[in-house]
Amino acid sequence: MAIPDVERQRVERAVRRFCDRVPVEIRSQVAYESRFRGNAVLLLERRPYFEDPTTIIEHPVARFVYGPTTGTWSLRWPDRNGRWHAYEGFQDVADFSELLREVERDPTGIFPG
């Protein structure tokens, strides 16, 4: 089930603010982007490949999953093999912005970026 329209708009604004924190003058070197798919939002870091700066590479940073039955969010982190894992203590969170703050704060050093 997809994210409800009102919630999606709220999340889009929050993610846009998160992505816009990268200063404009360095966005050609590093930038953040989000992608919505079904009930999940993927946060990506984009940067030029060091051997070929014309090639842009993307690294998954975090994945936010909406629970349609509960109306809450959970936070996931990627391992080096591309598998996603639950981020402890951030399951069933009602306020999406709380998850973004945790990614930005990154007290465990687990989120790439």
Give the domain ranges of the chain: 5-105
Write out pLDDT tens, residues 9-27: 999 999 999 999 999 999 8
Residue (of 63, 57, 58) closest to 83 by Cα position = 63
As given in the structure block, the two tokens for residue 82 are 């591309």
Distance of CA 14 to the CA centre of its chain: 11
75 exposed, middle or buried (CB, 10 Å; 0-12, 13-18, 19+)?
A: buried
| pLDDT for the residue 12 | 97
pLDDT of 113 higher than 70: no
| pLDDT for the residue 2 | 84
pTM here is: 0.91
* Cα–Cα dist 75/86, whole Å: 6
Distance of CA 111 to the CA centre of its chain: 9
